[in-house]
Amino acid sequence: EPEVTQTPSHQVTQMGQEVILRCVPISNHLYFYWYRQILGQKVEFLVSFYNNEISEKSEIFDDQFSVERPDGSNFTLKIRSTKLEDSAMYFCASRVRRGGETQYFGPGTRLLVL
Amino acid sequence: AQSVTQPDIHITVSEGASLELRCNYSYGATPYLFWYVQSPGQGLQLLLKYFSGDTLVQGIKGFEAEFKRSQSSFNLRKPSVHWSDAAEYFCAVGGYNTDKLIFGTGTRLQVFP
C-alpha cells in the first residue's frame, strides 16, 4: 500500500539555523499538508499546498516558514531561523482531492532545537 | 469556533474489556469526522471516517464509531480491547471547503493484561 514518507526521522539543530524537512507524498495525490505536534499537545495544522501554491495556512505559519514542491515527488517545509519553540514532531500529509477524502499522514520528523 | 473536545486525557482498561472514547465537536458546516491512532514513536494512522450516510461506521482493527448529530459527538468504540491497542487516539474534524483538519487533544489508552 502506498504511503507518505518523511526524512529525516529525527533532526537536532541549533537555534537560529535553517532546517528543511522533506516529504514524499503518495504519488497520485494532489493536496499536501504540514502539521506539527508539540510534545504533549495536539496536532496542529500549519499549511496546505495545491497546484504549486499555498491554499490555506494557519496563524502559526508565519514568515519563518515556507513550503515548496521542488520536483514531481518531494514536498518540503523550511524553517528559516529556528526557535526553541519550533521543537516538535512535524507531520506531512497528502490526499487525492479535497472534500471528504482522507488525509494520509507520514511517520513524522522529530525536530529538536537547542 | 471550530473545535474538537476529547474529555478523557487518559483511559485505562483491562484486556478484553469494552472501550468507548469520547469526542465532541463544534463545526459550522457539515462535518467530516475522523479517528486516528498514534502508537509511540509512530505517525498517525486512520482508524475510520464519517462523511455521510450510515451514522455507524466500521474501521480497522475492530473499531467502530457512531456519529450523533444531535449531540455533536463521534465516539469511538471497541467491544474487546487487545494489549496492542494501547496508543494515543485522536479525533479530528474537517469539512468540504477547507483543507485543514482540526484535532482534539487526544486520549491515551493504556491496556492492562
pLDDT tens by residue, B4-57: 999 999 999 999 999 999 999 998 888 899 999 998 877 899 999 998 889 999
Chain CA centroid to CA A48, Å: 9
Amino acid present at B52: S
Nearest to A21 by CA among A92, A83, A81, A73: A92
Identify the pLDDT of residue A25. 95
Identify the pLDDT of residue A2. 78
Contact check, Cβ <8 Å, A102/B36: no
**Distance of alpha carbon B28 from alpha carbon B1, whole angstroms:** 8
Contact check, Cβ <8 Å, A31/B46: no
Nearest to A67 by CA among A84, A52, A85, A81: A52
**Distance of alpha carbon B1 from alpha carbon A12, whole angstroms:** 36
Q: How does the average pLDDT of chain B come out, rounded?
A: 93
Q: State the best of B2, B25, B30, B44 to mutate against chain A, taking most chain A CBs within 10 Å.
A: B44
Q: State the best of B99, B103, B108 to mutate against chain A, taking most chain A CBs within 10 Å.
A: B99
What residues contact B31, with CB distance under 8 A and at least 6 apart? B25, B93, B94, B95
Contact check, Cβ <8 Å, A42/B106: yes
Identify the pLDDT of residue B30. 83
Please say if the pLDDT value at position A20 is more than 90. yes
Identify the pLDDT of residue B98. 79
